[in-house]
Structure 1
Amino acid sequence: MNRPQNWFDAVQHCHQTGKSYVLITLLATAGSTPRNTGTKMVVTSDEAFDTIGGGHLEHLVTRNARELLLDTHYSQNNGQKIEAMPLDSKLGQCCGGAVHVLYEVQGQHQQTLALFGAGHVAKALIPIIAQLPLQIKWIDNRENMFPEHPEQIPSNVSTILTDEPVYELKDLSDNAWIVVMTHNHQLDFDIVHKALTLPNIDFVGMIGSETKARRFKTRLAHRDLSEAQVQKLVSPVGELSIPGKRPIEVAISIAAQLVQMLNTKTDTSEVPEKDSAQKAQQNLWLQVKQLEKQHSS
């Protein structure tokens, strides 16, 4: 994917890739300044997009933005902050003007999904679920199974080619979901067995028939797993009310279950997030009104 060249493309890029960012705006300017009121840029933990004029001002603002990304008060609540910055010798600027900088922190807390297997169902599934708020790790041990050209892979999907797919489980983020659909039943079993023992995996789904699911659960019960761990396996995975065995039909079934899970997760946390956002907007409005009074006096 090409690197974004302006701030609005960068915002879209960050949302697609699940990357936290700070949108920076010159909220007000006075006197001689490098850029005009309304100029914006985007800063992430390791990149910056667009410019508010460069120089020491941009260097300091970029540093401040990254400090806000590390501050959980701002990153977890999508906090906002206004900072007054005179462009004088202390800042290493000789413009003589002043700016008020608005920082809008956007913490991306997207759900991580690891999809093991790149066969027909996975190829049908990826284009559907890539449109959901998911960070997807697509894992297989066969080099020729992934799309040949990188531009064919959605920006929120990272492909992982590895001889040991099981080892990828330990690197998943907390509360990760996994869906298993490899070409090898023993590999399926090894992935599922390991996943059920890890505290960072919230959901373990596996493609297959009810017969396969019963056999796996019987084998798992003989591998020192508790009944609660064994029952955590969801197989057959998918919304079973959706009929059909074609790859696209199975993919739609799995996507439907993931949509249900995402919305259930959102419903449980939506109210506190709305309250925090409303408070932040109210505080920002008060700060803007104070700035207007200062400039008019």
Structure 2
Amino acid sequence: MNNWISALAELQTQGEACVLVTIIEERGSTPRNAGSKMVVSAERIYDTIGGGHLEYKAMAIAREMLDSGSQQTRLERFSLGASLGQCCGGVNVLLFEPMGQPHAQIAVFGAGHVGRALVPLLASLPCRVRWIDSRDAEFPAQLPEGVTKIVNEEVVDEVDNLPAGSYCIVMTHNHQLDLELTAAILKRGDFTWFGLIGSKTKRAKFEHRLRDRGFDPALVQRMRCPMGLAEVKGKLPIEIAVSVAAEVIATYNACFGMESGEQGSSAEPVAKLLPVSRRSQAQ
């Protein structure tokens, strides 16, 4: 059976979610050792915490956490005895730590200067990134781990392929394309967060055009433009990228404080709490 350390490293490299289970306390006449660990993935168990019914129960809890996408560390106390098929009394306390579960599925539309500065930052976070553009030559030769390059002449079509609850970032080279992407994202309406690069003037123009297309003003208000945190100032691509990444982090930290199934519904109040950037964003 694989050592839990090497198994954890391998699963994290592959981007596969898992749960690390640790015995942090044991009392009574049991053969288990505090500090014993095992790693539970969707398909396998690596290492052992001593086998038996306790390990079976721990596996079931870990798989339940994986199925729900839980990011919360969890403590469970087990009183040993008949309920766990033990002949002797005692107590085990187990720690369950989710590992490798992405906090956010992010779609970045645009491989220009800001996109090339932003995507490596997002890739270093617990996120999965779809990087989308019609121009293959704009992408760097090497992509960070966790980033999928998508080249499609019909960029707007990719909106339909996004997972529900995605974080959408629009920063293409073309204002009309930005508008069409914005309309498609708002039409779906199931995003967790949506940011559009640009100034307050650009936002006003887009709001007018979207209103003419019949979009609900309340829905349009969920669009972050300018996007990013006002406290992170600057017009250099890396400065804008840091600002946008900071807002993404603030949003997913707030969302994952709630149950996983509530991500989409929590996005609007999170956006309202964040300050609107006072700077214009360079294209």
Letter in structure 1 aligned against 2:4: W
The answer as to 2:3 corresponding to 1:11 is no
SS in 2 for 1:224: coil
1:122-176 CA-partner distances (Å, limit 9, x unpaired) = 1111222323332222222222222313xx4133x22222233323323333332
Supply the distance in 2 between the matched residues of 1:113 and 1:24 (Cα, whole angstroms): 29
SS of equivalent residue, structure 1 residue 175: coil
1:127 is the counterpart of 2:120: yes
Say which SS state the counterpart of residue 269 (structure 1) adopts.
Answer: coil
Computing the radius of gyration from Cα coordinates, the structure with the larger value is 1
Give the Cα–Cα distance (whole angstroms) in 2 for the partners of residues 26 and 249 of structure 1.
44
Q: 2:244 aligns with which of 233, 243, 254?
A: 254
> How far apart, CA to CA, are the structure 1 residues paired with 2:23 and 2:201?
62
Asked whether the equivalents of residues 180 and 205 of structure 1 are also in contact (C-alpha less than 8 Å), the reply is yes
Specify whether residues 37 and 217 from structure 1 end up closer, same or farther in structure 2 by C-alpha distance, changes over 3 A only: closer
The 2-side partners of 1:159 and 1:47 are apart by 29
Counterpart check, 1:20 vs 2:14 = no
- Give 1:9 shift: 4.6
Amino acid at match of 2:98: Q
Q: Is the 8 A contact 2:203 2:226 kept in 1?
A: yes
Aligned twin of 2:145? 154
Report the alpha carbon displacement of residue 104 of structure 1 after superposing the two structures with TM.
4.7
Alignment of 1:46-195 (within 5 A): 46=43, 68=64, 72=68, 104=96, 106=98, 108=101, 110-149=103-142, 152-155=143-146, 157-195=147-185
What letter is aligned with 1:269?
M
1:127 aligned counterpart, secondary structure? helix
Equivalents in 2 of 1:17, 1:228: separation in Å?
40
Give the count of matched residue pairs: 246
Q: CA deviation at 1:208?
A: 1.6
Structure-2 separation of matches of 1:79 and 1:11: 18
Q: Distance in 1 between matches of 2:159 and 2:123?
A: 20
Assess if the C-alpha contact under 8 Å between 2:102 and 2:127 holds in 1: no
Distance (Å, rounded) in 1 between the aligned partners of 2:256 and 2:40: 30
The question of 1:217 aligning with 2:207 is answered: yes
**CA–CA distance in 2 between the matches of 1:261 and 1:121?**
20
| Identity score, percent | 35
Deviations 1:228-280 (A, max 9, x none): 122222112112343322211211221232233234x168439xxxxxxxxxx
Matched residue SS, 2:188: coil
Kindly provide the CA deviation profile for residues 12-51 of structure 1, in whole angstroms up to 9, marking residues without a partner as x: 56557764324468999x99xxxx9988664433567x66
Q: Indicate conservation of the 8 Å contact 2:17/2:66, yes or no.
A: no
The structure-2 alpha-carbon separation of the partners of 1:114 and 1:17, relative to structure 1 and needing over 3 Å to count, comes to: farther
Residues 18 and 214 of structure 1, relative CA distance in 2, 3 Å threshold: farther
Q: Distance in 2 between matches of 1:154 and 1:15?
A: 11
Distance 2:132 2:36 in 1: 41
Q: Which amino acid aligns with 2:144?
A: I
Q: 1:17 to 1:231 in 2, by over 3 A?
A: farther
Q: Distance in 2 between matches of 1:75 and 1:252?
A: 27
d(CA) in 2 for partners of 1:68 and 1:231? 36
TM-score, normalised by the number of residues in structure 1? 0.61
Structure 1's 127 and 9: CA in aligned 2 closer, same or farther, altered over 3 A? farther
* 1:242 correspondence with 2:232: yes
Q: TM-score, normalised by structure 2?
A: 0.64
From the two aligned structures, give the one with the greater helix fraction. Answer: 1
- Indicate whether 1:200 and 2:190 are aligned: yes
What is the CA–CA distance in structure 2 between the aligned matches of 1:232 and 1:209, rounded to whole Å? 16
Quickly say closer, same or farther: Cα 1:77–1:132, change in 2 above 3 A: closer
Q: Distance in 1 between matches of 2:97 and 2:250?
A: 28
